[in-house]
Amino acid sequence: MVNALTIDVEEYFCYAYPGDTLSCQEWAELESRVVPHTLETLKILENHRIRATFFVLGWVVEREPHLLREIHDRGHEIGSHGYGHRLVYTQQPAEFRDDVRRSVDLIGQVIGEKPVGYRAPSFSITESCLWALDILADLGFVYDASIYPTRMRHSGAPRMRTDPHRLDNGMWEFPAATVKLAGMELPFGGGGYLRLYPFLVTRWATHRINSSGRPALIYLHPWELDPYPPVAPRSRFRRFQHTVGLAKTRSRLLHLCAEFEFAAIGDVLARLHTEADGVVDFAAAK
């Protein structure tokens, strides 16, 4: 089973926690660390011959276009993470469309092609804003990877399917990894869960999903390779969520890369749907 590995390229201060966010104006005043940690991530993937999907924030593209070129030139799939890292369910449809289109335009200007995939900040496409999926399809995206198919504190869509599937609008949805335990779908796909859970749990959950015939979607952020971020969320709970286990991220990513087979989302979807739909070239579907 080939799993999907995705990297959300943003700064350590681009968190979007309700009531505990920093504005884009404040971002510009903080120390940037996205370049060295993204390059470290690229090196790890290169050493394991893994092609991943990088969802790059438009704000980062605008300031570090050379970084986007580096990711693209090394053969990885480029996706949009929006521009300003705003939670989707806090936006109106017109605001969301403008935010995503701005990121698409920036990516296109730098690498000469539009992204085929989208990842919402903090997986914030919920059942209250499924209208966002139709906007993404209208903007030409081939797939979305923005939904946690379980109930979360500030996100989640528990009535959505847990496997990669085609939506009514023709786009594919590749949900974040969850595993059923005691009748509940428990999230484990990456980020804070990768850092918080013992690695044995991540390994067990990934094998369990694979044994059921499903690929797992694993995600992380380059800033998670930095154990000492200069700024953290103000609230104690969010600070814990943002910083717990940062010193473990690198070793756990190395274990994942060594133990499981990974590819970019477009490659995984093409493998899954070749038999049913004929050969699907997601990279060419601009």
The domain segmentation of the chain, as residue ranges, is: 2-284
pLDDT at 286: 43
d(Cα 103, Cα 116) in Å, to the nearest integer? 12
d(Cα 176, Cα 225) in Å, to the nearest integer? 21
Q: Identify the residue whose tokens are 């335009």.
A: 105
Dump pLDDT digits (tens) for 184-228. Answer: 889 998 888 999 999 999 999 999 999 999 999 999 999 999 999
pLDDT at 23: 76
pLDDT along the chain (286 residues), means of 10: 97 82 82 97 98 98 98 98 94 97 98 97 94 98 95 83 94 94 86 92 95 95 94 84 92 96 97 63 48
CATH architecture of 2-284: Alpha-Beta Barrel (3.20)
d(Cα 57, Cα 200) in Å, to the nearest integer? 31
